[in-house]
């Protein structure tokens, strides 16, 4: 975006500050809610298939967010978010192992995430914030959500977001300054040469969401107020891989990404046979292995990368739910079955990475952000 002339810049700068603040808050809010929902499922006695199913419904919100963003303006979305926060808080408080209670949580979680992601995508069209600010908000949200989800009544914290949403709706009563994005050209919609890259993107996300919500059942002592911290540890490991590879000036290597995902497969297969503290170690190592996929961001695929990510989220969690449900038995047994499927998906991702052609031209490594 071009810098406006001086008389307008003061107003635009203020708007940018407001939008940037809302984007950071919305990003942290999503992470806090996701962890609150997960930990409530884990502490309320839901089975692995129900836990994964609730979170799969939550991630469906990513698939419909663009439609909501196109249909509604920001004030309407923010007011809808306030209502969804109230509904989700009620579902969290009344959660039990009963099918109806879990279904209600999945439905309200899906509505919340749909609206919140639509708001985030509105804001990302209008402003940008630093990677550090977004990552810090995510980290705080994870830790807070783990603590809140471990207590029935602490889950009611979502009602505190209602007045914030109402105030934000009032503050954003103005026309959307973002110009409509042009329709993608046929070349941007995908081609046979780019498809392996996009499929690898999908499988990368699917393998992660096939185990991230269920591996806790093989180490139940990890479930509690510290769950958000343990979740954060695995997420931070992605940055370890990125910084290590960037320091070695590795911009794109299908072989390294394949090796990283094979390492993930080994780690998740060992989890059911490890004590809790080593499960946590394996969880961290999976982040390092999966973190090699940061290289995908260094190459622009000929297609809608975000859409493949979103489908991977839902597919992975849904596969985990179906696998645990079919496996039956104890919670440990059902979770162990999802780890096997997650390992298979990680291997599939590794194989697909090897089908990706190495780009002839890559941008300089210096100055690139994740």
Quick one: which of 195, 205, 230 has its CA closest to 216?
230
Kindly report, residue by residue over 16-32, the tens digit of the pLDDT.
578 889 999 999 999 99
pLDDT for the residue 209: 97
Q: Tell me how far apart the alpha carbons of residues 137 and 276 are, in angstroms, rounded to a whole number.
A: 28
Q: Is pLDDT of 175 > 80? A: no
**Number of C-beta neighbours around residue 239 at 10 A:** 15
Q: Is pLDDT of 184 > 50? A: no
Residue range 353-359: mean pLDDT, rounded: 77
Domains of the chain as residue ranges with CATH: 11-171 (1.20.1250), 190-353 (1.20.1250.20)
Residue range 237-242: mean pLDDT, rounded: 89
Name the percent of the chain lying above pLDDT 70.
86
pLDDT band at 234 (very low <50, low <70, confident <90, very high): very high
Give pTM, 2 decimals.
Answer: 0.87
Residue range 343-370: mean pLDDT, rounded: 71
pLDDT for the residue 171: 80
pLDDT for the residue 84: 96
Kindly report, residue by residue over 300-338, the tens digit of the pLDDT.
766 788 899 999 999 999 999 999 999 989 999 999 999
Q: Is pLDDT of 38 > 90? A: yes
pLDDT for the residue 33: 97
Q: Tell me how far apart the alpha carbons of residues 103 and 98 are, in angstroms, rounded to a whole number.
A: 9
Q: Is pLDDT of 10 > 50? A: no
Q: State the DSSP H helix or E strand holding residue 40, giving kind and residue range, or none if neither.
A: helix 6-43
User: Look-up: residue for tokens 């999976």?
Assistant: 286
Residue range 40-46: mean pLDDT, rounded: 95
Helical pair 305-327 and 331-353, crossing angle rounded to 10 deg: 150
Q: Is pLDDT of 195 > 90? A: no
Question: Which has the minimum average pLDDT: 75-79, 151-155, 341-345?
Answer: 151-155
pLDDT for the residue 189: 45
Helix ranges restricted to H, 99-220 = 99-126, 131-149, 161-171, 195-209
Kindly report, residue by residue over 76-121, the tens digit of the pLDDT.
999 999 999 999 999 999 999 999 999 999 999 999 999 999 999 9
Are 35 and 137 contacting, i.e. CB atoms less than 8 angstroms apart? no
């Amino acid at each position: 975006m071009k810098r406006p002339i001086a008389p307008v810049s003061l107003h635009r700068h203020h708007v940018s500050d407001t939008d940037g603040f809302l984007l950071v808050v919305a990003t942290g809010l999503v992470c806090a809610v996701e962890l609150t929902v997960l930990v409530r499922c884990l502490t309320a006695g839901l089975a692995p298939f129900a836990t994964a199913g609730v979170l799969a419904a939550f991630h469906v919100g990513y698939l419909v967010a663009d439609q909501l963003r196109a249909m509604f303006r920001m004030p309407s979305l923010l007011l809808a978010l306030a209502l969804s926060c109230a509904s989700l808080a009620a579902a969290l408080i009344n959660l039990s192992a009963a099918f109806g209670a879990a279904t209600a949580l999945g439905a309200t979680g899906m509505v919340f995430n749909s609206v919140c992601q639509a708001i985030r995508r509105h804001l990302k069209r209008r402003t940008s914030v630093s990677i550090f600010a977004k990552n810090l908000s995510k980290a705080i949200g994870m830790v807070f959500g783990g603590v809140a989800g471990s207590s029935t009544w602490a889950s009611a914290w979502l009602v505190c977001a209602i007045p914030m949403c109402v105030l934000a709706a009032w503050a954003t009563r103005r026309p959307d300054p973002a110009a409509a994005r042009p329709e993608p050209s046929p070349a941007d919609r995908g081609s046979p040469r780019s498809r392996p890259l996009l499929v690898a993107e999908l499988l990368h996300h699917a393998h992660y969401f096939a185990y991230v919500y269920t591996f806790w059942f093989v180490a139940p002592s990890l479930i509690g107020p510290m769950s958000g911290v343990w979740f954060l540890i695995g997420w931070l490991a992605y940055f370890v891989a990125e910084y290590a590879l960037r320091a070695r000036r590795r911009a794109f290597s299908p072989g390294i990404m394949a090796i990283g995902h094979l390492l993930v497969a080994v780690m998740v297969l060992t989890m059911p046979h490890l004590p809790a503290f080593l499960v946590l170690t394996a969880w961290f190592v999976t982040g390092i292995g999966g973190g090699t996929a940061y290289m995908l961001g260094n190459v622009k695929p000929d297609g809608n990368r975000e859409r493949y990510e979103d489908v991977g989220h839902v597919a992975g969690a849904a596969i985990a739910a179906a696998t645990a449900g079919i496996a039956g038995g104890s919670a440990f047994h059902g979770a162990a079955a999802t780890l096997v499927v997650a390992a298979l998906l990680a291997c599939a991702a590794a194989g697909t990475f090897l089908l990706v052609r190495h780009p002839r031209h890559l941008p300089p490594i210096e100055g690139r952000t994740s």
